[in-house]
Amino acid sequence: MKVRELMTGALITVTPQTGVFEARQTMLKERIRHLLVTEGGRMVGIVTDRDIRLNLPSRDRHPARVRAGSGARRADLRRREPDPGRRG
């Protein structure tokens, strides 16, 4: 079996300027847990529901004022180094 047999064809993306509250609403509406962050047609990162949960809410950062790019992990599409803090 190949990944292409399992993947979703329609990509759901946000920009780094998208508000985190809006990104979370998109995740809920589309029933997904990950959003690609794109800028100028190029993938620059990924933001997950976990990223949002761990970073929001707090007393200092209201979801409507935080942008998706501020919590997104930067993408390096040339190579992928294992994340020592991540299981799986």
Which of 2-11, 54-63, 74-83 has the highest average model confidence (pLDDT)? 2-11
Give pLDDT, residue 64: 57
The answer on pLDDT for 78 being more than 50 is: no
Taking the complete model, does pTM exceed 0.75, yes or no?
no
Rounded to whole angstroms, how far apart are CA atoms 16 and 81? 23
> What average pLDDT score do residues 44-71 get?
72
- CATH number, domain 10-74: 3.10.580.10
11-54 pLDDT, tens per residue?
999 999 998 889 999 999 999 999 999 999 999 999 999 988 88
Rounded to whole angstroms, how far apart are CA atoms 41 and 50? 25
- Evaluate whether 75 touches 43 at the Cβ level (below 8 Å): yes
Q: Which of 81, 15, 26, 80 is nearest to 49 (CA)?
A: 26
- Evaluate whether 13 touches 37 at the Cβ level (below 8 Å): yes
User: Counting Cβ atoms within 10 Å, is residue 74 exposed (0-12), middle (13-18) or buried (19+)?
Assistant: exposed
